[in-house]
Chains A and B, each alone.
Chain A
């Protein structure tokens, strides 16, 4: 049972345009969400996070939006740059439970930013 879903395995966007990566979750206990970026031959690196008490968090070119009623979050990258080409993983945590600090990951979306 995939509790965190990234339904788009890949996405191609032109340089300078907006990239929108989507993530859906099914577990209503999840209250903290993170995005990680992964380059080939490297480990995932933390990008941005959001708590369920917020609906938006912004860090430079990266913004994460959370829609709790729809159990949906999205990562917006504006403007997209070639260096953003990587695999992006969505992750979720249920901080108020005994499983705090355990992350459940989605399957990833490969973003390619073209010139």
Chain B
């Protein structure tokens, strides 16, 4: 079984719709992250959380919100999706004892029409 899972794996939505991407992990890590990948731009950090009560904005947080429901769950919401949020979204985790080494989920491919 995968240690970091993301649902859905693919999603098509329309402009203005609210959408939630979910991430779960069984690694027992305290730190979780959301990234987006765009062609030619690499991975960019959207939000990160060091524990359930800690939420921090990343490089490109505008238009996104997150919720850390439990240590193992970290969801990303697009309150009103727009076409330039079409991208590949990755969730990642890391452990305090080896905090720089992040473990990624398989990704969610999102298309906003």
Interface residues in chain A, defined as those with a beta carbon under 8 Å from any beta carbon in chain B = 4, 6, 9, 32, 34, 36, 41-46, 49, 89, 93, 95, 100-103, 105-108
Contact = CB atoms under 8 A, between A and B. Distances in A.
Contact of B100 (A41, A42, A89, A93): A93
Nearest to A107: B42
B contact residues, range: 20 to 34
A39 to B, nearest CB: 10
B26 interface: no
A43 B44 contact: no
Contacts of B41: 107
B104 A103 contact: no
A23 to B, nearest CB: 11
Nearest to B91: A43
B103 A107 contact: no
B34 interface: no
Interface string B61-99: 000000000000000000000000000001010100001
B107 A43 contact: yes
Nearest to B56: A102
